[in-house]
Structure 1
């Protein structure tokens, strides 16, 4: 005697569209995009500046001097000149700005539950990840020639932090495609059913 067929789990517990998840992710992506744009804008601005901004330099030097790191304004200016000519500012700055714009647009589209928002956010996060790490690593490599070891180590940690931050953005952007409930919430269409007489 054969056992009666058991209903599948999907029939017992039907998957329902979850609109809150994608919208929460969208808000986090928009926040991340603003940080990308702010950092990218600063780098792009520095890529065109012959002298490192004095108000920023004073704060940096004061912070290092508190930690008893021997660094002068001339050392930092030489470092700034080298990474500007090397293109490190431009690589990181333009990557983060272009990626940030895509993530920002994607975040707003995802908030409206449009699947294109996921694709834009993934593309923007990937651009920011690759360009952000490349530019940060170029800066860290150059700093070993002009700045003390402690500063070089901090620059290396910053490049890893950039990878971690952009990796989180990329993972969040992919999440609505992996989660079945979130995927169902994207691009929903209202269909009218008319009864035939």
Structure 2
């Protein structure tokens, strides 16, 4: 006697989604969204500074801890490398492309998603200044305005870059790779020093 079943048999050729594929997409989307948010916030705050302050102006916010100090930086951090803006433009473009094309698609855990997303957004923020601000394309000066005592003057993009690099360093220091695994987790089964031999069936 044949049993009736309301569930149709699964076809042998039916495609089965890869395990974790949905999570991978969410992590990639999250990295992209964070990058866009960082870029927008960075450019928005720079626009406010440009329209409400004159270059060189200082405004006390929480003295003596925090001040707005509007300057334009043609170099890297601490104004190093002034006169070589085009080199920083190339380096930042290369970093952004490498992270976006080669690294983001490999992430499988949230810490790496947030770290790489923040890094992309920060780099994109300063790269936008270098590409589209005066004096010329690729040699634009970066707008900096956040001043702390005995420290460099920086911007929102710099904050994202620094925080992301700290996170990346911690992930690398703890041995966490882009997929969340550690090198020790990838040892081939049966090759552990303390593993007991399996019985032959």
Give TM-score scaled by structure 1 length.
Answer: 0.35
Higher fraction of helix: 1
Give the structure-2-normalised TM-score.
0.35
Question: Taking CA–CA contacts closer than 8 Å with sequence separation of 6 or more, which of the two structures ends up with the larger relative contact order?
Answer: 1
Higher strand share: 2
